[in-house]
Chains A and B, each alone.
Chain A
Amino acid sequence: MGGQQSGIKNKMILEFLSVPENVGLARVAVAAFAAQVDMKLNELEEIKVAVSEAVSNSIIHGYGGDPNGMVRVEVERNEEGLVITVEDKGKGIEDIALAMQPDYSSSPERMGLGFAFMQSFMDHLDVTSEVNQGTRVRMFKNIEKVVEK
């Protein structure tokens, strides 16, 4: 993952209960953190969608809707970009490759596009998971220097 070795410029850790109200809180907090450096509006929108999807996955799939779980979001900014980690201690994913397929979804009203959006909007994505231990999604977004705002 790019930028891992570089020095950390800023860091934020956010932990909250696995309730749907916190999806908006998480994406707005991460976007505000990201906006400390000049970013294109489009990139902020992409970050918001990726965070929203990762946190929603933790709530719906990780904890299966149980509102008593904790979701942890960690964001680091280094010279190259943002590293966003979303972690839960939920039921985990048995087959990550299968879960990441665009049309994979455990329910007909959900589109199974969460991972596809994360992959499409971030420059790097990796997912680690252990059954009954939890899931960790790590995403990296390059920060391109914006000359004019």
Chain B
Amino acid sequence: MQIFFSMEGKQLWARIKGELDLENADTFRQELEANLDHARPEVLVLDLTGVTFIDSSGLGVILGRYRRLKKEGGKLIIYRPQPQVRRLLELSGLGKIMTIMNENGEQIGEGFNNGWSAIRN
């Protein structure tokens, strides 16, 4: 897994490449935390274009950062997840509480209600 960070205005972009599972969950979390601490963005955009696999370990890290940003008055946006990744976001319920956007900047996945109500805001 690799992450490329950049600031675009008040948005911190994290372009992630590879697979998000138990093997790299700690690195994924630490790199995001370090960059959030440093950049203090209003919005964190997780660009998942290059993510080919995710499981609950990776989803857990995303949920943790969502909670942090929410607490600090910020926002987390998921950008361009591949279909299999998007499906897990939706099944997990994360798709219901987070903004998911496609390449045109349009919100997708809203109103999907198959998620387990496992996520407590």
Contact = CB atoms under 8 A, between A and B. Distances in A.
Interface of A: 20-21, 23-24, 27, 42, 45, 48-49, 52-53, 56, 59-60, 102-103, 108-114, 116-117, 120
- Which of B21, B64, B117, B119 has the largest number of chain A CB atoms within 10 A? B21
Nearest to A60: B22
B91 A117 contact: yes
A37 to B, nearest CB: 20
Contact of B61 (A42, A48, A109): A109
B92 A52 contact: no
Nearest to B85: A45
A107 to B, nearest CB: 8
Interface of A is mostly: helix
B60 interface: yes
Interface in B43-70: 53, 55-57, 59-61, 63-64
Contact of A56 (B57, B63, B118): B57
Interface in B19-36: 19, 21-23, 25, 29
B23 A53 contact: no
Contacts of B88: 49, 117
